[in-house]
Amino acid sequence: MNPKALLCFFPLVLCAIAPAQDAPSVDDLIARNSAARGGADKLKAVRTLKITGKMVAVNGMELPMSISIKRPGMMRMEMNVQGKGIVQAFDGETAWSVNPLMGTEEPKMFTAEESRDFRDNAESFLDGPMADYKSKGNKVEYAGKEDVEGSPAYKLKITTKRGSVIYDYVDAKTYLEVRTTAKTNQMGQEMEVDTYARDYKPEGGVMMAHLMDSKVNGASMMKMSLDKVEVNSPLDDALFKLPAKAEPKKQ
């Protein structure tokens, strides 16, 4: 190859290898994300969370809600709709709900597939699915770089040990999660939901998003805003358990 041809070829080689050099490793991205959120020690020190706030539906209706989370993997969500209290919970084994709007106040157990989604949500809410992913049996892969609401973000594909696939987008400057894409089952229908995390604030030494906007096909379906976050307040295990059916009153 003559020198002139070599000079033309050399920049092409540099362009080809530049993306590989620019892309950080999965473990490096996870470490930076953990540090941005407050550090692994502070994250693990959070044993319980009690959140109060509201859901804002697509029609503008505001629904008061609360979420309680307790390690290892228990979760309870309560919402007030038209004066009726709706509960969805996961006790570590079984997901269940009480929904008077469906015509009964008897607790209903979810299917195994729905319970799997609840388990993934409960386990990831405190730490995220990337933290200690190897010990959890999850797999994390780098999936490129994309813009999220006008800012570059690293895209990570997480496959949980139960087979769920989640895409986390980590902001290239702050290293905080700015979007999560996952498939969920709603009333027997599977849909892909994009959840955008905004308005990060410190809570108990850990950065938490206080506004989450869930979208389907680009259209906002539900927003969740947090008014109060209590870290490590006592939460009894009974709060998450499937309630026993009431005994009939004796005549």
Domain boundaries, the chain: 22-236
Pick the closest to residue 84 from 96, 98, 95 (CA basis): 98
Say if CB 200 and CB 215 are below 8 A apart: no
Quote the pLDDT of residue 119. Answer: 77
CA dihedral 196→200→202→205, nearest 10 degrees, is 50
Q: Compute the distance between CA of residue 212 and CA of residue 199 in angstroms, rounded to an integer.
A: 9
Q: In this structure, are strands 62-70 and 48-57 parallel, antiparallel, or unpaired? A: antiparallel
Quote the pLDDT of residue 185. Answer: 64
Pick the closest to residue 82 from 68, 61, 98 (CA basis): 61
CATH of 22-236, one of 3.40.50.720, 1.20.1560.10, 2.40.170.20, 2.50.20.10: 2.50.20.10
Quote the pLDDT of residue 191. Answer: 82
First and final C-alpha spacing in the chain: 102
Say if CB 8 and CB 14 are below 8 A apart: no
For tokens 């989450």, what's the residue? 212
Residues 40-80: tens digit of each pLDDT: 999 999 999 999 999 998 888 899 999 999 998 899 999 98
Quote the pLDDT of residue 188. Answer: 65
Residue type, 50: K
For tokens 């092409």, what's the residue? 12
Quote the pLDDT of residue 246. Answer: 40
Quote the pLDDT of residue 171. Answer: 98
Point out the residues of the chain with pLDDT beneath 50. 1-21, 246-251
Pick the closest to residue 59 from 26, 32, 81 (CA basis): 81
How many CB atoms neighbour CB 212 within 10 A?
A: 18
User: At 206, is the secondary structure helix, strand, or coil?
Assistant: strand
Say if CB 35 and CB 131 are below 8 A apart: no
